[in-house]
Every structure is written in structure tokens, then in C-alpha cells.
């Protein structure tokens, strides 16, 4: 039997974003996954034609009445890692425009854990509750996940969509969907997998 290699696993790419109006203040996070698929359509001559279209595969937003930008950025990545933990048959590529989150996931979190969750010079770690949750998820056995930096507010479509969800700006979200001819089989707020939560902390 052939041994399963990492390269054999299909890759799912997610974009995440977090936001707060005031720091702290009301805010939220958003997660988006798009996928290009080939579908059959009838062209203007009535002939069958195979064309590529972009579909929304995951769209999620969650709002919080009192939070910070960094907390929401962390919560967005945690949300995707929870999805990943439920299905380890894929590779997961997670983009965040937060250098804070990317450095935590790829560097700082391992040093902090080894040091008993204390920063250099015995300084406390902010958002430790979320960071410990993130650490547990990153340590999931057989999880294949990469957290990468993407530029923020630089015209990256998925990042702009995630930003619209994080800021609860559905006008912006709908305009981006329409402008880029992205297909939603159903509006995401009717999707059985979509849950919008208002949380108080």
C-alpha cells in the first residue's frame, strides 16, 4: 500500500480577518474560502461549454460587543483550525493580514509554551486564553496547517471579503461578490453551516 504523502492531500485555502471599532470596542472576525470550479453551461449558440467559475465555499462572521483587534484576528484563525481539526484529510493554508497572529503561530507561541507561558523579562502574555486555545489546536495530531501573511487592504479579493465580514459590512461584501462574478449557491446567511453570534465578554 502506498504511504500517504502530504503532497497527496488536497489544499484548502482560507482568508481570515479581525476588526474592532475602538481598541477595545465592538468588533468581530470574518473567514472566507473561495474555490474555482469548472461547470457546464449553454453558450449563446446553445452548445454545451465548460467554463471556470468562482464559488463561495465558506463564509463566516462573528460579532462581539467588547473586544480588541488582536483578539478578533486570533479568533478568526482559531475558527479555521477548529474546522481543520474536524477533517484532517486536507492540507490547510490560512492567510491573515495580522503580523501579530502570523508571528505567534509560527514562532512566539512555541517559545512562550516552553517558557511556562511567560514572555521575556517575566512580562505577561496578552490574550493568553486565546493563545493557549490556539496552541492546543496547532498541536492537533496529523494536522497539516500553515498560517501565512497576506497584505491587508491591498486589493486581495479574499482579504477584502474577510474584512467585509469582520466589519459586518454586508454592502461591501455583496458588491465584491457581484463585481467579481462569484457564485453563492445560496446567500451564506442562509447556509446551514453559518451561525452569526453576538457575544458579550
Residue among 107, 153, 185, 186 flagged as catalytic: 153
pLDDT exceeds 60 at position 4: no
pLDDT in tens, 51-90: 888 999 999 999 999 999 999 999 999 999 999 999 999 9
* Beta strands, E only, 43-171: 48-67, 90-96, 144-149
Residue with cell 507561541: 109
- Model confidence at 7, pLDDT cuts 50, 70, 90, reads low
Residue among 17, 62, 72, 160 flagged as catalytic: 17
Per-domain residue ranges of the chain? 6-199
Residue among 28, 62, 72, 73 flagged as catalytic: 73
pLDDT of residue 148: 98
78/82 Cα distance (integer angstroms): 6
Does domain 6-199 bear CATH number 3.30.420.10?
yes
pLDDT of residue 120: 82
> Can 17 be counted among the known catalytic residues?
yes
∠ CA 188-183-150, rounded to 5°: 80
> Can 153 be counted among the known catalytic residues?
yes
> Can 174 be counted among the known catalytic residues?
no
pTM score, whole prediction:
0.87
> Can 18 be counted among the known catalytic residues?
yes
184/96 Cα distance (integer angstroms): 23
Amino acid at each position: 500500500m502506498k504511504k500517504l504523502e502530504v503532497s497527496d492531500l488536497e489544499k484548502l485555502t482560507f482568508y481570515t480577518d479581525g476588526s474592532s471599532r475602538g481598541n477595545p470596542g465592538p468588533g468581530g472576525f470574518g473567514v472566507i474560502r473561495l474555490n474555482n470550479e469548472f461547470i457546464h453551461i449553454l453558450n449563446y449558440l446553445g452548445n454545451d461549454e465548460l467554463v471556470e467559475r468562482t464559488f463561495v465555499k465558506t463564509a463566516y462572521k462573528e460579532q462581539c460587543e467588547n473586544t480588541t483587534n488582536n483578539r478578533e484576528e486570533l479568533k478568526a484563525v482559531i475558527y479555521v483550525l477548529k474546522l481543520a481539526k474536524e477533517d484532517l484529510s486536507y492540507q490547510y493554508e490560512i492567510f491573515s493580514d495580522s503580523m501579530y497572529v502570523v508571528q505567534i503561530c509560527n514562532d512566539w507561541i512555541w517559545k512562550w509554551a516552553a517558557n511556562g507561558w511567560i514572555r521575556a523579562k517575566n512580562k505577561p502574555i496578552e490574550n493568553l486564553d486565546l493563545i493557549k486555545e490556539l496552541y492546543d489546536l496547532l498541536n492537533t495530531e496529523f494536522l497539516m496547517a500553515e498560517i501565512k501573511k497576506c497584505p491587508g487592504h491591498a486589493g486581495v479579493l479574499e482579504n477584502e471579503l474577510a474584512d467585509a465580514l469582520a466589519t459586518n459590512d454586508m454592502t461591501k461584501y455583496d458588491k465584491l461578490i457581484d463585481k467579481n462574478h462569484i457564485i453563492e449557491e445560496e446567500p451564506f446567511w442562509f447556509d446551514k453551516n453559518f451561525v452569526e453570534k453576538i457575544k458579550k465578554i
